[in-house]
Structure 1
Amino acid sequence: MSMLSPNRLGFAIAFALLCSCSSTPPATSNSTSQAQAPSPVAAAATKSAATSPADTPARHESFSAWQSDFRRLALSQGISVATLDQALAGLEPDPAVIAADSSQPEFTRPVWEYLDGAVSASRVKRGQQLQVEYAATLSAIEQRYAVDAQVLLAVWGMESAFGHNIGNKNVIRSLASLAYAGRRASFWQEQLLAALRILDAGDISARGMIGSWAGAMGQTQFMPTTYASHAVDFDGDGRRDIWNSASDALGSAAHYLHASGWQAGKPWGFQVALPDNFDYALADTGIRKTYAQWNALGIKGTPQGLAAGDRGYLLLPAGHRGPAFLVFGNFNSILKYNNSTSYALAIGLLSDAIRGQQLALQWPRGDKPLSRHERIELQEQLSRLGFDPGIADGIIGANTRRAVRGSQQQLGWPADGYPTPQLLTELRKR
């Protein structure tokens, strides 16, 4: 599933570092205006993370040595000689891909800048045009997979600018480069084997298999293992062609979201107003309540399509000074496509806008995001003061947010878990 400029992995990592509302970042994709992470890459990475030491590929002194060993492995896995000859002949590692895998951006864009691009007027307009143009296809997909058309259009727009930006990297070369020299060799080797199986099946040629630098492919930016389990031949031509067939791409995205628990007709979430003196510590992904329970705490919104027992959590993507949302089960389905809160929020807001329900959100645009070094220092300061943010790695995850809340409560500040330069300055004094 996802999230953009030349590479999404770097942005996704950087963005997750910034947003206190984000969990672990995904890795790579190719969306238009912003560099995010590839959709189903996050899920694919999670599934392949648990490899035993015996499964971990040995490091090789040369690419040719790696290629020889990999060829033997691929043959043992049933990949045909013809496919290997076609895909690996004359292959050399791509230095740009290896460099992208090791990059750690120092600065990140705040969530509102990301959403400005994600839900731009031009993207909304194009989505509405395509909603009419592909009405019959979208209706058929909705009938089969029970996923709302506007959400599919939002995914299509975010992942590849509605099919116009699917990447320009040779996926086999990129994955081979990463399997040889990347930080997660086992993961990339698994993706490379899956990509070769796609070639073996005849769904696409090696030349036609293009995508992002991290191997996210086609108009939906699927990783190869995600393609294997969720790509569909919706147009019935005998090939699952998410590169050239909009029907296959949209059907595949719907299949993925359906398998991830999407419930048709239910909201992903909605903006809410909070009462004065609200306890911002309740804005925690682990605290889930029905709308009636949230409403009893003074939260006001306009829920549509919720069942009485549907539970959601409060999301403050820019802390207490920004807009607030209640998000529900369908939001979590989007997170399975791309495990970035900001991405899921973009999909939700873009789908609403395509439906004609665009919001005018008030963001604290004067706020400055913390740099990577400042995030690391913040974690070190929190640890020094007895809070437990976990490893000081610059990633603002659940442990760091919890530690930030604790420090904010001690200071008598709104405990929204959102890291700011002001908080870092205050902690330095203590």
Structure 2
Amino acid sequence: MILFNGSTAARIRTFGATVILVMAVSAGAAGAASASTAEFVRGLWPEAQARGVSRQAFEASFAGYNPIPQVMELTKSQPEFTQTVKQYLDKRVTDAQAQKGRAMRQEWAQTLGGAESRYGVQAEIVLAIWGMETNFGGFMGGKNTIYALATLAQNGYRAAFFRDELLNALRIVSDGHVRPENMVGSWAGAMGHTQFMPSSFMRYAVDYNGDGRKDIWNSVPDALGSTANYLKSFGWRPGETWGYEVRLPAGFDVQAAQRLGKATLEQWRQLGVARVNGRAFPRPTDVGRLYMPAGATGPAFLLLPNFDVIKRYNNSDSYALAVGHLADRILGSGSFATPWPAGDYALTKAQRAELQTLLNRAGFSVGTADGVIGPKTRAAVVSYQQARGLSADGYVSGLLLERLKR
């Protein structure tokens, strides 16, 4: 979902939540709330008018508007992210999703082929984003976007950001791309088949089918073309992949690799890093970084520039890896060659604090056990691993906590 182009993006999406809100509101309070809503809408009009929004579109967009209590509840109830990368992938990249992606590739072959020719983005990547965002259009959020954004802005939740998104949404309606009642999306305002925020729509949405409207809600060609245009705009490299699963040689110095950061694939090859399928890297001068989402004992990847372009959609390594892997699965590839560590689990904040406490007790100082994993904690983990003859990857995990408990 295109939100902030930052790490907040991945945390601000919640679909299918059920919130039961019991309210006892007096008649006087209800009147005050109505007055406040009316005042908010009146105060918004001068800004909307300055943005080129017509009065007709403005009134149509706010017809019947009242703040949505569930939207504000969802801002307070976002769960702590406690999934390993494997768990994240297992829920999103399945045989069924890959099969559905292949069916969609066949159904929309002409659109996808044309978009690839025009924007240079491989069809499978666009399909994978579509699948990740809304299950290929199966669920686009269901909230009235104008009402949801107005609720957030009126209640002061990231008020400047959501007020701006609301004004962009009003302009989209005014420009005739969609009727306000058909502008649906997530509670945070991400819209349509591939979940554009209104500001991203204004910059990157395209009228791919040429009917005069950029309709990412009802026109699959417009949604897929817009997604390809978005990726192109952030520097997608045509004909190149997102990365490679690789094998690390015995005794590989993880710390040295982390200090190296980005290097050419030829430099990585000279360090003994090789593709799991045994083939050579097709472009040795490409620059990549090493990514070990489960530490040194799990799958490892060299990530290429296109991986970072995917992250402009959602600034999460887990998300971008899922998109890349689903795209590969749509192409017919199998699961990753290297197994994930058995029994691993993600740590809650309380468990991270427990891990820090145990490291302190063992003589590997992390300072205050606050549950925040920073450089000092990772350095303590590396020292612990070196002292115990383990691979010094600095990876904080459930398996490490269990070892410390012994």
TM-score normalized with structure 2 length: 0.84
Match of 2:343 among 353, 366, 377: 366
Q: Which residue of 2 aligns with 1:37?
A: none
Residue pairs, 1:119-130, within 5 angstroms: 119-130=93-104
| 1:202, distance to aligned residue in structure 2 (A) | 0.3
Code of the aligned partner of 1:239 = R
Q: Distance in 1 between matches of 2:208 and 2:370?
A: 46
Q: Which residue of 2 aligns with 1:407?
A: 380
Structure 2 CA distance for partners of 1:138 and 1:68, relative to 1, 3 Å: same
Q: Quick check: 1:261 aligned with 2:238?
A: no
Q: Which residue of 2 aligns with 1:290?
A: 264
Q: Distance in 1 between matches of 2:285 and 2:401?
A: 40
Structure 2 CA distance for partners of 1:31 and 1:63, relative to 1, 3 Å: closer
Aligned-pair identity (%): 42
Higher relative contact order (CA 8 A, sep 6+): 1
Residue pairs, 1:98-113, within 5 angstroms: 98-106=72-80, 108-113=82-87
RMSD: 3.2
SS at match of 1:318: coil
Any unmatched runs of 5+ in structure 2? 18-34
TM-score normalized with structure 1 length: 0.79
Q: Distance in 2 between matches of 1:265 and 1:98?
A: 43
Structure 2 CA distance for partners of 1:367 and 1:424, relative to 1, 3 Å: closer
Q: Quick check: 1:339 aligned with 2:315?
A: yes
Contact kept in structure 2, 1:263 and 1:330, CA below 8 Å = yes
Moved more, 110-119 or 341-350: 110-119
Larger radius of gyration, structure 1 or 2? 2
Q: Which residue of 2 aligns with 1:139?
A: 113
Q: Which residue of 2 aligns with 1:201?
A: 175
Cα-to-partner distance string for 1:173-220 (whole Å, 9 max, x where unaligned): 111111122531111111101100100100001000000111100001
Residue pairs, 1:390-401, within 5 angstroms: 400=374
Q: Distance in 1 between matches of 2:335 and 2:254?
A: 23
Q: Quick check: 1:26 aligned with 2:26?
A: no
Q: Which residue of 2 aligns with 1:170?
A: 144
Structure 2 CA distance for partners of 1:203 and 1:379, relative to 1, 3 Å: farther
Q: Distance in 2 between matches of 1:96 and 1:259?
A: 35
| 1:233, distance to aligned residue in structure 2 (A) | 0.5
SS at match of 1:26: helix
How many residues were matched structurally?
Answer: 380
Contact kept in structure 1, 2:136 and 2:193, CA below 8 Å = yes
Structure 2 CA distance for partners of 1:365 and 1:70, relative to 1, 3 Å: farther
| 1:285, distance to aligned residue in structure 2 (A) | 9.2
Contact kept in structure 1, 2:141 and 2:184, CA below 8 Å = yes
Q: Distance in 2 between matches of 1:428 and 1:186?
A: 46
Q: Which residue of 2 aligns with 1:417?
A: 394
Runs of 4+ in 1 over 6 A off after TM superposition: 379-386, 425-429
Structure 2 CA distance for partners of 1:279 and 1:106, relative to 1, 3 Å: same
Residue pairs, 1:6-21, within 5 angstroms: none
SS at match of 1:263: coil
Structure 2 CA distance for partners of 1:30 and 1:137, relative to 1, 3 Å: farther
| 1:379, distance to aligned residue in structure 2 (A) | 7.1
Residue pairs, 1:43-54, within 5 angstroms: none
Any unmatched runs of 5+ in structure 1? 3-7, 14-22, 35-60
| 1:68, distance to aligned residue in structure 2 (A) | 2.9
Structure 2 CA distance for partners of 1:62 and 1:285, relative to 1, 3 Å: farther
Contact kept in structure 1, 2:11 and 2:78, CA below 8 Å = no
Q: Distance in 2 between matches of 1:138 and 1:209?
A: 24
